[in-house]
Chains A and B, each alone.
Chain A
Amino acid sequence: MIVLNTEFVPGRTIVEVKGLVQGNTVRAKHVGRDIAASFKNIFGGELQGYTELLIESRREAMQRMIAQAQQLGANAVVNVRFATSSITAGAAELYVYGTAVVVAEEAQAVE
């Protein structure tokens, strides 16, 4: 499955547009209970544990979007966008959406 955030697929032609596909996850955005983060909040620096949590949430959301695209019979998702929004004080939703399309194999070769 090809996934891109451009409207076109370089080197390929879009043959059919299947429609909007999406995936999302809701995660906690509170570092209050994390002891390591409490120390970091005195000295500063990167919160690696939190970064990994976000990367994992994003991967999960993208997997859901790709699964939807596969169900539609698409072989690529274009124009992918991310949106993050606060749900409550302690939670945020990561939303990924794009357009599922069918692309043809390398049609134009570079002469």
Chain B
Amino acid sequence: MEQLFFLGITVLLLVMGLVIGSTVESSHFRRLARREQQLASIMVSDLRRLPVNWQASDGMLVTGEAVIATDYFKVFVAGLRNLFGGRVKSYESLVERARREAIVRMLQQAQSAGANVVWNVRIETTTIQGKQQGKSGGIEVLAYGTAMKAWGK
């Protein structure tokens, strides 16, 4: 009887994770697409130097950071994948969300500084430990670059 109860709880958490998790995720993707469109006028590059005929002024470091938690369903699916190998699509969307969110926040900082380019962009990813040993709690992404006002393109 007790085992049935625990099985029921697990299934409930999985379903909650799947349903609410995917709702949260798709609304996040929609918000990301909208904000990226608003910031589309800012040129972003990971080049270290400016092209030869460009001029620039007012350089400053801009950063963006995001921490996205994994949900119960993702951890479960990843656990299954660990048996058979292959792409873990459930985590791919997680990392993509965190990365795009960090970049959008970095560009928002650049926009409020009045810059039109962000140069030498670097991205760093780290994992956050979850409650249980070895299970992923989430992903942290830091994006940073130098915002400048550039002209002469």
Q: Is B108 an interface residue (CB 8 A)?
A: no
Identify which of B21, B49, B59, B120 contacts A44 (C-beta below 8 A): B21
**Given contacts A31-B138, A41-B71, A44-B71, A82 and B17 within 8 Å (CB-CB):** no
Identify which of B16, B59, B72, B128 contacts A2 (C-beta below 8 A): B59
A30 and B75 CA atoms in complex are apart in Å by 17
**Number of A-B pairs whose CB atoms are under 8 Å?**
140
Which residues of B from 70 to 126 have beta carbons under 8 Å from A? 70-72, 74-75, 94, 101, 119-120, 122, 124, 126
SS class of chain A's interface: helix, strand, loop or mixed? mixed
> Do the beta carbons of A37 and B16 come within 8 Å of each other?
no
Residue of B nearest to A81 (CB): B122
- B-chain residues with CB within 8 Å of residue A106 when the two chains form the complex: 57
Cβ contacts B13-45/A at 8 Å (1 or 0 each): 100110011001100100000000000000000
Measured CB to CB, the residues of B under 8 A from A are 13, 16-17, 20-21, 24-25, 28, 48-50, 55-61, 63, 65-72, 74-75, 94, 101, 119-120, 122, 124, 126, 128-131, 137-138, 140, 142, 144-146, 148, 150
